[in-house]
Chain A
């Protein structure tokens, strides 16, 4: 089932999305979205519940097939098999962890899935960045929700992805965890990783963003690049989208 499509070497973007549509039966969750991100770009995606943000991220993560349109990661059409998936780090409000295993075991398992041979140093580094070394050997089930989210972030970053897809990553994090995540995302962005972050926190989202969009009923109702992002206008559009959603 795995396809091994070579990346297009002339592709300048890490993410290219063109008229992307994703339908579930007669419901159009994503309805013709277009954007592209270069290395180091960060798209902050806002919108009410059910706007299609998570579906868009799941398509880009290779978990859902596009119904029509184009979606490429590093020039590889999605769903592009192991090569495309190896470049993506997925963070969600679900921790995606095994509760009987420890943080160290969860992150090490992920590192090995991504083919990292001598994973120990990478695992330790990932856990250290999220301040989880003290509880690295405790079972996940014994950790608070915020600590589990920190481990989930360490798991998603252990293979140094070129694209980070973060769906409400601040969910459950306290101030310290949120600061650590913001610092980590800034650091990986400055190293050339592209980021798409879905959040309801306009301040956090816009502080990281080089691009921003408000999504409503599967479409971008507002999309701007860094030099044109107006926080006040975004707040107004976001409120309108929430009101329209009922």
Chain B
């Protein structure tokens, strides 16, 4: 297990180094997130819907779609000149490759969240100081599930001609339960409900994470074996 995790970290570091140098997917995701916030802000009628009612939906829509940009890039860097062949021909386990990709994607999504959440607070005049810790917990738990599912489908879609279309078509239905739980928990939190009321949603997100991470890690080798 230690060997799998150290190899996964090696692969994740490599992916993050590439993204840090190119910043192509990160900048796209950040621009998309900020643009989404601006569009929702100008379409918003504060007399009809309160900020605390609208913000959770806006937040999870932009996280879901900006995350897809990073997930698509995840295996895209491996197919540029068939680097994936060298990775698969090396003596590392397929599970380590999946976990490495998922860790890098998690850092990517978390970095986008770290910029988008303060931007959301700014646009919708939300006071997040008191709920910062549980909000971060929701964001991380939801990101783990989204990344596990998205990384698996990115691996499946990357070798197809319609990868950019196929990834969202495959992943979004599996994102729905995670996004519903995350949006519900965020909504309760922003409307001032006690933190204990979101406990059930956090447990549900944790359960999704355990199931999706385990299932996707076990399923990944079948996507690369012919």
Residues of A that sit less than 8 Å from B by CB = 1-2, 61-65, 79, 81-83, 85-86, 88, 90, 92, 94-101, 105, 109-110, 112-115, 139, 155-156
Contacts and interface: CB of A to CB of B under 8 A. Distances in A.
A110 B86 contact: yes
Interface string B76-88: 0100111101111
A114 B90 contact: yes
A155 B82 CA distance: 14
Given A64-B226, A98-B18, A92 B82 contact: yes
Q: Is the interface of B mostly helix, strand, loop or mixed?
A: helix
B164 interface: no
Given A1-B221, A98-B18, A113-B10, A63 B89 contact: yes
Contact of B86 (A90, A105, A112, A115): A90
B80 A99 contact: yes
B191 to A, nearest CB: 44
B81 A99 contact: yes
Interface of B: 7, 10, 14, 17-18, 21-22, 77, 80-83, 85-95, 221, 225-226
Contacts of A81: 91
11 contacts: A2-B94, A61-B85, A61-B89, A62-B88, A96-B83, A96-B86, A97-B81, A100-B17, A101-B18, A110-B86, A113-B7
Contact of B81 (A79, A85, A96): A96
- Pick the most buried of A81, A99, A139: most chain B CB atoms within 10 A of its CB: A99
- Pick the most buried of A81, A86, A100: most chain B CB atoms within 10 A of its CB: A100
A21 B85 CA distance: 21
A65 B18 contact: no
A95 B7 CA distance: 22
